[in-house]
Copies of this chain bind each other. A is one copy, B any other.
Amino acid sequence: MKLMDMRDTDFGERFAVILSRGEEIDRAVEGSVAEIIADVRSRGDQALLDLTRRFDRLETSSVAELEVGETEIDAALAAVAADDLASLRHAVERVTRFHEKQRQQTWLSTEEPDIMLGQKVTPLERVGIYVPGGKASYPSSVIMNAVPARVAGVREILMVTPTPGGEVNPHVLAAARLSGVDRIFRIGGAQAVAALAYGTATIPRVDKITGPGNIYVATAKKLVFGQVGIDMIAGPSEILVINDGSGDTAHVASDLLSQAEHDELASSILITTDRSFGERVAGEVERQLGLLSRESIARASWESYGAIIVAGSLDEAVAFSNRIAPEHLELAVADPFSLLPAITNAGAIFMGHWTPEAAGDYLAGPNHTLPTGGTARFFSPLSVDDFVKKSSIVCLSEGGLKRLGRDIVRIAGLEGLEAHARSVSIRLDR
């Protein structure tokens, strides 16, 4: 962790080190991922079986056997403690209710009787959700990806997850059932992404692939983009907390650590107008680090990519935050709504002292799949929008075409596109 003052002359330089963590996809990874994709495209199921044997040490004679059966899901559901199931159900309910507000309607304007224009909103037909396996197997990821798809009206939701041992985490299976996932396959890595993008004899091709994954999965998603839709290219997690000296230092410290525990590349930053508050938070972080079972991860993250920054004013802090475009932004200030209009770049904004970022990870309602690494400049949280597409609607009557025809013909002429012009004039010149 570095304690810095924004007004120090070397601030820019020192802070640049923290920003440098963004991992770029390197050409070597890209090469091997491209090979895996080509293999799955050409050999289909057989490639999938071979690669699953090689990477996940899972031996089956057909891809169909890699599908998780209904009885297996039933068993998982039965094995999950009732209280845990109730919490997951609560999450599904709240996330559903929030995402329902994102639904967009097909519309048609009738203000000009001879020219009706509109936009048709249609759910994607089939989507694939990637769920990491092993230690990072999170039921909340399933909920946050499947629920918006289901709310959007997607007809079939596939889920893929690598299972080095052959077993899928029961909470993940329960979350899949509660969120409306239709089919689950025990496949992962670039090969699963390729199978979803191009289809195999057993795995149907999807229209979009969402969900987090390691560098191979992220690279595969980037390479198949255009063949299918993808959500975004996610990097390590981050939090930025803006503070005005109000609130409890222990609370702020706990929020910083909730990101730091994710992985060594996570970044937790506090920017405060109150140096003494900042110093006390630093002490609290140290104290709470010692209480964590994931201490070594959280400590590595905090040492490398943690920072406490002193700002001259809240305006300065907000301007800085907008430049960083953090995935998670906490406004741990007395009057958070007064800052809201000025926030231009942030994945999710957590308002005030009673809104820890963790509330957004699970239960409040908004999606926890958020743009990282400064991409909140242009990416948005995963949403129902990601699971629909739009078609423009244009409907002219004869009168409408007459009204527009002359100018269409003229612009087509400027562009040298004679057949475009003729398709209008042939209708009007009679």
Q: Chain A interface (Cβ within 8 Å of chain B)?
A: 27, 34, 83-84, 86-88, 90-91, 94, 98, 101-102, 107, 109, 115-117, 119-120, 122, 124-125, 135, 138-140, 171, 207-208, 222, 225-226, 228-229, 232-233, 248, 250-251, 254-255, 257-258, 260-262, 288, 291-294, 298, 329, 336-337, 340, 343-352, 354-367, 370-371, 375-381, 383, 385, 389-398, 400-401, 404, 406-408, 410-412, 414-424, 426-427
Question: Which of B101, B207, B378, B423 is in CB contact (< 8 Å) with A124?
Answer: B378
* Contact present for B359 and A392 (CB under 8 Å): no
Partner of A392, one of B171, B363, B366, B419: B366
The 5 lowest CB-CB distance pairs between A and B, nearest first, are: A229-B378, A366-B392, A351-B395, A348-B392, A380-B390
- Asked, given contacts A355-B395, A376-B391, A391-B381, whether A258 binds B423 with beta carbons under 8 Å apart, the answer is yes
Residue from B261, B291, B364 in contact with A115 in the complex, judged by beta carbons closer than 8 Å: B364
> Which chain B residues lie closer than 8 Å to A293 at the CB level?
416, 418
- Tell me the bound Cα distance from A336 to B393 in angstroms: 11
Q: Which residues of B contact A255 (CB under 8 A)?
A: 423
Number of copies of this chain in the oligomer? 2
Complex Cα–Cα for A91 and B378 (A)? 28
**Sample of 7 more A-B contacts, CB < 8 Å, known A102-B119, A229-B378, A258-B419:** A140-B411, A228-B378, A293-B418, A358-B424, A360-B392, A361-B420, A381-B392
In the complex, the answer to whether A122 meets B344 with C-beta atoms within 8 Å is: yes
Query: Which of B207, B254, B417 interacts with A422 by CB under 8 Å?
Result: B254
A-B contacts, 20 of them at CB < 8 A, read A87-B411, A87-B414, A91-B411, A117-B366, A122-B343, A135-B416, A139-B414, A171-B414, A222-B225, A225-B233, A248-B427, A257-B422, A261-B420, A354-B396, A358-B420, A362-B407, A362-B411, A363-B411, A364-B394, A381-B391
Q: How far is the CA of A381 from the CA of B391 in the complex (A)?
A: 7
A138 CB to closest chain B CB (Å) equals 5
Most buried by B among A87, A343, A367: A87
A404: chain B residues within 8 A (beta carbon) = 94, 359, 363-364
Query: Which residue in chain B gives the minimum CB-CB distance to A141?
Result: B415
Of B101, B229, B416, the contact of A109 (CB 8 Å cutoff): B101
Q: Which of B336, B381, B420 has a CB less than 8 Å from the CB of A390?
A: B381
A378-B124, A415-B138 known; A364 vs B396 contact (CB < 8 Å): yes
CA distance A381 to B122 in the complex (A): 13
**Structural contact, B117 and A288, CB atoms closer than 8 A:** no
Bound together, the chains give a CA A397 to CA B350 distance in angstroms of 11
Cβ-defined contact, B423 with A358, below 8 A: yes
Contact of B411 with A139 in the complex, beta carbons under 8 Å: yes
In the complex, A102→B101 CA distance in Å? 16
- A316, chain B: closest CB distance, angstroms: 18
Instruction: Determine the residue in chain B with the shortest Cβ distance to A350.
Output: B394
A378-B208 contact in complex given A404-B363, A419-B292, A422-B258, C-beta closer than 8 Å: yes
Of all chain B residues, the one with the shortest Cβ separation from A371 is B389
A288/B422 contact (C-beta < 8 A), A120-B340, A396-B355, A412-B362 known: yes
User: Chain B nearest CB: distance from A299 CB in Å?
Assistant: 11
Q: Whole-angstrom distance from the CB of A350 to the nearest CB of chain B?
A: 5
Shortest CB-to-CB span from A102 to chain B, Å, is 7
Contact in complex: B401, A354 (CB < 8 Å): yes
Nearest-neighbour CB distance to chain B for A321, whole angstroms, equals: 11
Which B residues are CB-close (under 8 A) to A138? 415
Asked if B419 contacts A347 (CB within 8 A), the reply is no
User: Within the assembled complex, what's the spacing in Å between the Cα atoms of A212 and B264?
Assistant: 40
In the assembled complex, the Cα of A412 lies from the Cα of B394 at a distance in Å of: 49
